[in-house]
Amino acid sequence: MRSGLRWAVPAVAVAALAAAMATSRERAPRAEPLAAPSLSPPIVIAHRGASGLRPEHTLASYELAIAQGADFIEPDLVLTKDDVFVARHENNIADTSDVADHPEFADRRTTKTIDGEQVTGWFTEDFTLAELKTLRAKERLPMLRPANTDYDGRFQIPTLEEIIALAKRASAETGRTIGIYPETKHPSYFASIGQPMERRLVAALDAAGWNGADAPVFIQSFEVDNLRRLHALTKVRLIQLLDDTGGPADGAAPSYADMISPAGLKQVAGYAWGIGPNKDMIAVGSKPATTLVRDAHAAGLRVHPWTFRAENYFLPRSQWKGLNPRGHGDVEAAIRRQLALGIDGFFTDFPLIGVEMRNAATGKGSRPKGSI
């Protein structure tokens, strides 16, 4: 899921940030549009694992998410120099690993253009898997999640193969079907450097026996042509990611706003099983909800919004508790509202909260065995 600078915490004092956020105002609540019944029982997707409690994209984060009841664990996938999929938020690992502490890799720091933006750091495609395995993960948002820094340096960067093995092992141990929800990160960029992702990803899933529409897998992407190519290669369910600004990096659509028109959603339904919109495209705080869930359902598309985070910093002012941006606000209210609007699942950094809200909304104490 997107983050980058968009979700980076500014290097300012907590009090100053709180004061800035306190200036925000919301319109008075209005009547909700007619809710659209879910097309599928809502699922809880652990965004980069239980990333609110452990450094993201580590086996420890995924393991905790599974223990907390998540239905799916989400790895963002990038490629190594020797064409192995690993889980990192971006191919730039400057903020998610201790690579800067390794003098043997100092000369690999460079600047590249990724999706039209210049980025400086160390990049997975410049390292073999063996080299990446000498690094250790670290917390990407230390100002907001200081407790997670206690785990810095403990965990390796996991491969897709290791994540699949974890999901299968956990499924056998718990009696629940634990699925994976991989995102292809910067597929056009990787294709431009001679490392197209699609066939490699399909081959990895085929090797796991996951090649049908009933496989416990969703593949997601912010790009369009990447998903269209995957649609021709696999029957695994595909999810078109959408943001509330901008458009696909591959230029296959003018903007995400165009893609959520009735005509745009109909086109998406031609290759995807569902959409993964920024949650703010559905509802924000007490503002009137949009009709996106209803419109997507009318096109036959499931809706899995991202990302519900507990920290005040990520919530509208009406859902803050206290003034500390890193304090936890009323994310439960945000999840409840969108479940009431008929979403079919959602991404969260805090799977236990997500599971509790989903179960309360559906009247179930736990997920049925084998349910995805």
- Classified as helix, coil or strand, 305 is coil
Residue with tokens 């005509």, as numbered in its chain:
263
Task: Annotate 190-247 with DSSP letters as a single string.
Answer: HHHTT---HHHHHHHHHHTT--STTSSBEEEES-SHHHHHHHHH--SEEEEEE-SSS-
328 is catalytic: no
Task: Report the distance separating Cα 274 and Cα 300, nearest Å.
Answer: 8
Q: Which of 57, 89, 186, 297 is catalytic?
A: 89
- Classified as helix, coil or strand, 137 is strand
Chain centroid offset of residue 236 CA = 18
DSSP β-bridge partners for residue 79: 85
Distances 134 to 85, 103, 109, 125, 277 between C-alpha atoms, Å? 16, 12, 17, 15, 36
Provide the residue type at 240 as one letter.
Q
Closest CA to 266 of 234, 301, 237, 230: 301
DSSP E strand stretches across the chain = 43-47, 72-74, 76-79, 85-87, 110-114, 117-121, 179-180, 183-184, 218-221, 237-242, 274-277, 302-303, 345-348
> Inter-axis angle of helices 331-340 and 351-362, to 10 degrees?
40
Chain centroid offset of residue 351 CA = 12
Residue with tokens 């179930």, as numbered in its chain:
364
Chain centroid offset of residue 146 CA = 21
47 is catalytic: yes
Closest CA to 46 of 87, 5, 18: 87
Task: Report the distance separating Cα 301 and Cα 177, nearest Å.
Answer: 22
Active site residues: 47, 89
